[in-house]
Chain A
Amino acid sequence: MSQKILLDKINVPGIKTYEVYRQNGGYASVEKALKTLTPDELVEEVKTSGLRGRGGAGFPAGMKWSFIDKKSGKPRHLVCNADESEPGTFKDRYLMEFIPHLLIEGMITSSYALGANLSYIYIRGEYMWVYKILERAINEAKAAGFLGKNILGSGYDLELYVHCGAGAYICGEETALIESLEGKRGNPRIKPPFPAISGLWSNPTVVNNVETIAAVPWIVNNSGAEYAKIGIGRSTGTKLISASGHVKNPGVYEIELGLSVYEFMNSDEYLGGMSSDRPLKAFVPGGSSVPVLPAHLIYKTAAGEDRLMSYESLSDGGFATGSMLGSGGFIVYNDTSCIVRNTWNFSRFYHHESCGQCSPCREGTGWMEKVLHRIENGHGREEDIDLLLSIQSKIEGNTICPLGDAAAWPVAAAIRHFRDEFEYHIRFPEKIKNRDHFVAEPFEKVKHLVSKEMI
Chain B
Amino acid sequence: MERTYHKQEINMTEALITRINELISHYPEDKRKSALLPVLHEVQDAHENWLSIELMDKVAEILLIKPIEVYEVVSFYTMYNQKPIGKYMFEFCQTSPCCLNGAENLMDYTCEKLGINLGETTEDGNFTVVGVECLGACGYAPMMQLGDFYKEHLNEEKIDQLIADCKDNKIVLHDK
B-binding residues in A (CB < 8 A): 84-90, 93, 118, 124-129, 132, 161, 163-169, 180-186, 201, 242-246, 250-252, 288, 329, 331, 333, 337, 341-342, 345-346, 348-349, 352-353, 355, 435-436
Contacts and interface: CB of A to CB of B under 8 A. Distances in A.
A93 B65 CA distance: 33
B79 A129 contact: no
Nearest to A353: B133
Given A87-B134, A126-B135, A184-B69, 5 more contacts: A125-B79, A128-B41, A168-B78, A244-B141, A349-B133
Given A185-B72, A331-B96, A333-B100, A118 B28 contact: yes
Contacts of A252: 139
Given A166-B77, A243-B139, A349-B134, A125 B41 contact: yes
Nearest to B44: A166
Given A166-B79, A345-B99, A90 B41 contact: no
B125 interface: no
B38 to A, nearest CB: 5
Interface of B: 26-28, 31, 33-38, 40-41, 63, 65, 69, 72-73, 76-80, 94-97, 99-101, 104-105, 132-141, 145, 147-150, 174-175
Nearest to A90: B136
A345 B95 contact: yes
Most buried by A among B78, B132, B141: B78
Given A250-B140, A329-B138, A126 B145 contact: yes
Contact of A331 (B34, B73, B138): B138
Contacts of A250: 138-140
B104 to A, nearest CB: 6
B100 A244 contact: yes
Among B63, B137, B149, the one with the most A-chain Cβ atoms within 10 Å of its Cβ is B137
A341 B24 CA distance: 45
Nearest to A186: B76
B26 to A, nearest CB: 4
Contact of A93 (B36, B63, B72, B136): B136
B95 A183 contact: no
A244 B139 contact: yes
Contacts of B38: 163-164
A186 B36 CA distance: 13
Nearest to B95: A87
Given A90-B136, A163-B26, A168 B76 contact: yes
Nearest to A436: B105
Contacts of B31: 182, 201
Nearest to B39: A183
Nearest to A128: B148
Query: Which among B27, B138, B174 has the highest number of chain A CB atoms within 10 Å?
Result: B138
6 contacts: A88-B97, A90-B138, A167-B79, A251-B139, A342-B96, A346-B96
Contacts of B132: 167
A355 B75 CA distance: 12
Contacts of B140: 90, 250
A339 to B, nearest CB: 10
Contacts of A93: 136-137
A66 B133 CA distance: 36
A362 to B, nearest CB: 13
A184 B73 contact: yes
Contacts of B41: 125, 128, 164, 166
A349 B99 CA distance: 13
Nearest to B148: A128
Given A185-B76, A244-B100, A124 B139 contact: no
A443 to B, nearest CB: 15
A54 to B, nearest CB: 15
